[in-house]
Homo-oligomer: A and B are copies of this chain.
Amino acid sequence: MTKAKTPKLSELLRRGEIFAVECPSREILKHVTSRWGVLVLVALMEGTHRFSDLRRKVGGVSEKMLAQTLQCLEKDGFIHRVSLPVVPPHVEYSLTPMGAEIGRKVESLADWIEINLPTILAAQRAG
C-alpha cells in the first residue's frame, strides 16, 4: 500500500459527494440497492445461508443473478463466503460486520415499506 494516493479523509467524508457523477459511493450504493442485493442482505440478516437456501428464500432470483449479486457484495466486503471442500459442494454465506451494519439500514428501509404499504397504496389510489 503506497502512501502517495491516500486522499484526505475530509475530502471523502464531505456530505454531498454522492451527488457528483464520479463519486465512488455511487457504485457501492448501486450494488447495495440493486434488485437482488437488497433482498440478499435482508435474507442474510437472519443468519448464515447456503446458496440453495438463498435461492429458495429470495423468490424469483435466478442462479446467475444470485451468484453475481453474491460475488459483487463479497468483493465489497459485505458478505463472507465459506466453501467447504466436500462432495457435493457446500458453500455458506454470511454477513461481515460491515455487511451487518449496512444490512440493518437496508432492512430498516424494507421493513418500513412493508409496514406502510397500505398507506402507500392508499396514497397511490388517491393521487
A interface with B by C-beta (< 8 Å): 1, 9, 12-13, 15, 17-21, 23-25, 28-30, 32-35, 38-39, 42-43, 57-60, 74-77, 96, 98, 101-102, 105-106, 108-121, 123-127
Contacts and interface: CB of A to CB of B under 8 A. Distances in A.
A25 B105 CA distance: 17
A58 B20 CA distance: 7
A9 B121 CA distance: 12
Contacts of A58: 19
Contacts of A59: 19-21
Given A28-B120, A109-B106, A123-B98, A13 B75 contact: no
Copies in the complex: 2
The secondary-structure label for the interface of chain A is helix
A109 B117 contact: no
Nearest to A106: B109
A102 to B, nearest CB: 6
